[in-house]
Amino acid sequence: MQERSSVAELAAILRRELDRYSSGEKLPSSRALVEQHRVSPVTVSRALAELVAEGLVVTRPGAGAFRAEPRSEAARPVDTSWQEIALSAEPAGDQVPRSVDASGVVATLATPAPGVIELNGGYLHADLQPERALAAALARAGRRPGAWGRPAVEGVTELRAWFAREIGGPGGALAASDVLVTAGGQNALTAALRALAAPGAPVLVESPTYPGMLAVARASGLRPVPVPMDAEGVRTDLLADAFRATGARLFVCQPLFQNPTGAVLAAERRREVLRVARAAGAFVIEDDFARQLVHADAPAPPPTLMAEDRHGTVVHIRSLTKATSPNLRVGALAARGPVLDRLRAIQVVDTFFVPGPLQEAALELVGSPAWARHLRLIAGELTARRNALAAALHGQLPALVERGYGAGPGSGPIVPPGGFHLWVRLPDGTDEAALTGAALRAGVAVAAGRPYFSAEPPAAHLRLSFAAAAGTAELTEGVRRLRTACAQAGVPTG
């Protein structure tokens, strides 16, 4: 059983058993709970922490855990009706409402209930995370001289140099001084959008695209303008049209293993993206989130757009989080020219700096032999899981597969050579909300496609992750449950 499931189950048991104890009475010791419920000490500690957070239990160092005293009075109701006016009030003019819709992001961050198969996750399953290597790296980092001192706001020099080599490629197109260390990719994306576009400005985005980016853009008062994609990435002819029609000075893209479609931007379109943006006097944010998620049967990925950029057009984003753990929130922003000063200023205002020990741990990890072994491991595992999910869809839900994974109806499936998503187009008229709800009741969590579109979607979709599940058998079972949900929601399956 997964650790988080064990914690939830033990917390539920202890919650029910609290009625056996009077207020202030001592609960069994942690050792007794370990023996009684046959769980680990960590599980006991985390379960008790949940009850403490709920106000049901109090702990006293050296004494143990006790049932909490009942609250003397009920919490007073708070009248927050005024906030509805304050939050909706916008200044005069053409500014875009700075509403925040995090539902698409929360869907991939939320922990599913015990027994629910996670096909909507945004991170590697715990079995694929390099926990031992991370623990060793963190231990070594903590002993480094100066690790606990105040780091430079730009980041640890050696880590910046490592990112520069990774982003710029063997040609040395990038220097350490061109890189800022960030608190993960989302933090880098937020800083880049704020630096490159003023509130109310249009920003061109791929359609579909990552909901977290759309949420950041809208929260910053920007107007996302969709540019359609096909199997070879963004339609560059439509990109040029969009620049002319909107006057935008910014385009955000994921050229490699795009989220959610998995598409890789074709070689001729890579050159065209740079040419079109240059002609428009615009920046390109290259969100390179999945470069370390290449599958074992795929060729080496193309270089970054930044490695081919000779005009300072590209602002590059890279993160270590997707290939390691959601807790290793270390990433990088790379840029050349005056824009780097603006990015640095925003980083300082937002976060001051990324904690030094975390940066040192990241440096220890990527510099160890365990790093290359880990990348080989996940390359093989992701390939096997992708194939298992695709095979299960072909066998149990052929009507969905026939409509294509991302390029449109009748175009055939796109089996991505990297990343960890399949993008499934649903039959016309499908109610996404009804299907995802039925799926959850059937014991499988899937991500609806609507949050991935900045405007009206052309059809209903699902994004299915093959990295967050426990293995190939669980993926197959997840598709079986999805088939059950389709039948309940009236979605054709074959």
Contact, 417 vs 298, CB < 8 A? yes
Quick one: pLDDT band at residue 93, thresholds 50, 70, 90? low
* Rounded percentage of the chain residues whose pLDDT exceeds 90: 58
CA angle 271/210/155 to nearest 5° reads 80
Quick one: pLDDT band at residue 493, thresholds 50, 70, 90? confident
- Residue 418 is given by DSSP the state B
- The reported pLDDT for the residue numbered 87 is 60
* CA 47, 49, 53, 54 torsion-angle sign: positive
Quick one: pLDDT band at residue 98, thresholds 50, 70, 90? low
Residue 334 in this model has a pLDDT that exceeds 70: yes
Residue 473 in this model has a pLDDT that exceeds 60: yes
Q: Residue type at 275?
A: R
Distance CA 148, CA 302 (A): 38
Q: CB burial class (10 A; 0-12, 13-18, 19+) of residue 440? A: middle
- The reported pLDDT for the residue numbered 165 is 94
Write out pLDDT tens, residues 6-22.
788 898 899 888 888 88
- The reported pLDDT for the residue numbered 413 is 57
> And the tokens for 296?
């074992």
Nearest alpha carbon to residue 190 among 367, 351, 365: 351
Q: Which residue's structure tokens are 């009475």?
A: 25
Quick one: pLDDT band at residue 407, thresholds 50, 70, 90? very low
Give the chain's domains with CATH numbers: 3-67 (1.10.10.10), 103-128+371-489 (3.90.1150.10), 142-367 (3.40.640.10)
CB atoms within 10 A of CB 78: 6
- The reported pLDDT for the residue numbered 82 is 61
Q: Which residue has better confidence, 389 or 457?
A: 389
Write out pLDDT tens, residues 132-146.
999 999 998 888 888
Which phi and psi angles does 417 have, rounded to 5°? -85, 5
- Residue 225 is given by DSSP the state E
What's the rounded mean pLDDT across residues 58-67? 85
Beta strands in 148-212, from DSSP E residues, in sequence order: 179-182, 202-207
Q: Coil, helix or strand for 77?
A: coil
The predicted model scores a pTM of: 0.82
Residue 37 in this model has a pLDDT that exceeds 80: yes
Residue 210 in this model has a pLDDT that exceeds 70: yes
Distance CA 409, CA 402 (A): 8
Q: List 57's β-bridge partners, or say none.
A: 67
Write out pLDDT tens, residues 251-292.
999 999 999 999 999 999 999 999 999 999 999 999 999 999
> And the tokens for 458?
């052309």
Residue 184 in this model has a pLDDT that exceeds 70: yes
- The reported pLDDT for the residue numbered 244 is 94
Q: CB burial class (10 A; 0-12, 13-18, 19+) of residue 23? A: exposed
Which phi and psi angles does 25 have, rounded to 5°? -75, 145
What's the rounded mean pLDDT across residues 410-415? 60
Distance CA 44, CA 90 (A): 49
Strand bridging mode 250-253 / 283-287: parallel
Mean pLDDT value across the chain: 88
Contact, 137 vs 368, CB < 8 A? yes
Distance CA 432, CA 434 (A): 5
Contact, 254 vs 206, CB < 8 A? yes
Contact, 117 vs 474, CB < 8 A? yes
CB atoms within 10 A of CB 195: 22
Q: Coil, helix or strand for 108?
A: helix
Write out pLDDT tens, residues 353-393.
898 899 999 999 999 999 999 999 999 999 999 999 999 99
CA distances from residue 77 to 46, 85, 307 in whole angstroms, order as listed: 30, 19, 57
Distance CA 249, CA 6 (A): 50
